[in-house]
Structure 1
């Protein structure tokens, strides 16, 4: 019986995740913060909301044909990209500076999806700069719609990292 317990423990050790034992694995608190408030968490709301606004403006332009919605789509896509660069910079600093975030594959997956989103937002804005009204149908609308799907995926994934794994949060003072 005692030998079976020892053998059972040895088998259990074979399946231990070596990443759980890595130095700094438990260190997940944000280092890019102002007075304990993580900057990445504070800045991601803007590009997410503006991505949805760009899609909404494109849909309203398609429905109404009014130039003001194409203009609104140009501004929403541009500011989504610019604010996304800021959110991406803070997120990248967090990823590279905090060992407990850097070691997790899920954090790198979130990073890769977010980089794809930034590329798409930049393409969408650049496309509109050539002629904002002519750029909406069909490509602007399609890019905005795809950006909504990608921002939903990366936002869900980022929320999972924060709420399930407590990555990039502040433990308070």
Structure 2
């Protein structure tokens, strides 16, 4: 067994990249849900357009965060041995795939898509993110993934 905490493979100095990136897709995807709700309540096309842009930005940033997350997941076998890591990864993959589908259905007519299925998909994605965020927190605070070891040379 390798001593110390599971390492973050994708890092700058000793700072893991994945946690630096994840606030962006979360903010964009939660913003998508909020603008979907505002569109459903007001009917103002501005909110449908805002949702479309927020969703696109959320997907792009989620893919960037996923690259760093995959590097960490596949870079240390101890991370792969954790059920929380699998739940975090699979849940986030489902959220990204749902978001891509959500964007695809909106491309032709964003307003109709929000009212038919876009809003429920956005809500489901946010619920999934709540779960995967909880599991991601477990990885850091419970399993100490990416936390420098104590002792000489630790920051």
The Cα offsets for residues 83-111 of structure 1, whole Å up to 9 and x where unpaired, read as 11111111011000013212222211211
Q: Who is 1:84 aligned against? A: 62
The Cα offsets for residues 72-129 of structure 1, whole Å up to 9 and x where unpaired, read as 0001111111111111111011000013212222211211111111111111111111
In the alignment, structure 1 segments of 5+ residues that lack a partner are 1-22
2:53 is the counterpart of 1:75: yes
Q: TM-score, normalised by structure 1?
A: 0.82
* Distance across 1 between alignment mates of 2:136 and 2:46: 33
* Distance across 2 between alignment mates of 1:123 and 1:154: 19
Task: Give the drift of 1:45.
Answer: 0.8
* Distance across 1 between alignment mates of 2:3 and 2:51: 42
2:116 to 106, 123, 138: 138
Q: Who is 1:28 aligned against? A: 6
**Count of residues paired in the alignment:** 151
* Distance across 2 between alignment mates of 1:109 and 1:60: 31
Task: Give the drift of 1:31.
Answer: 2.0
Q: Who is 2:19 aligned against? A: 41
Task: Give the drift of 1:25.
Answer: 6.6
Structure with larger Rg: 1
Go from structure 1 to structure 2 and tell me whether the alpha carbon gap of 1:88 and 1:67 turns closer, same or farther (over 3 Å shift).
same
* Distance across 1 between alignment mates of 2:22 and 2:96: 12
Q: Which moved more, 1:47-56 or 1:104-113?
A: 104-113
* Distance across 1 between alignment mates of 2:44 and 2:148: 45
Q: What is the aligned-residue RMSD (CA, Å)? A: 1.5
In the alignment, structure 2 segments of 5+ residues that lack a partner are none
* Distance across 2 between alignment mates of 1:96 and 1:123: 26
* Distance across 1 between alignment mates of 2:106 and 2:3: 44
Go from structure 1 to structure 2 and tell me whether the alpha carbon gap of 1:80 and 1:25 turns closer, same or farther (over 3 Å shift).
farther
